[in-house]
Amino acid sequence: MATLRDILRRINSVKSTRQITKAMKMVAAAQLRKAQLQAEQSRPYAEKMSDMLGHLSAVATDKLSHPYFEKREVEKQTLVVMTSDRGLCGAFNSNLIRNAEHWLKERDPEKVELVCVGRRGYQYFKKREWKIVEAYIEFNAEMKFDMVRGMVNQLTTRFVTGQTDEIYLLYAKFFTTAKNVPTFEKYLNIDKPESHGDGETVGAYIFEPTPDDIFSALLPRYALIRLQSALADSFASEHATRMMAMTLATNNAGEMIDSLTLQYNKARQASITTEILEVVSGAEALRG
Active-site positions? 89
Question: How far apart (Å, rounded) are the C-alpha atoms in residues 66 and 75?
Answer: 20
CB 204 within 8 A of CB 51: no
Between CA 240 and CA 177 the distance in angstroms is 5
3-state secondary structure of 78: strand
CB atoms < 10 A from the CB of 44, how many?
Answer: 10
**In angstroms, rounded to a whole number, what is the distance separating the alpha carbons of residues 140 and 248?**
23
Quickly count helices (H) and strands (E) in the chain.
Answer: 6, 5
* Pick from 194, 172, 206: nearest CA to 50: 194
The alpha carbon torsion through 245, 246, 251, 252 (nearest 10 deg) reads 70
**Exposed, middle or buried by CB within 10 Å (0-12, 13-18, 19+), for 233?**
buried
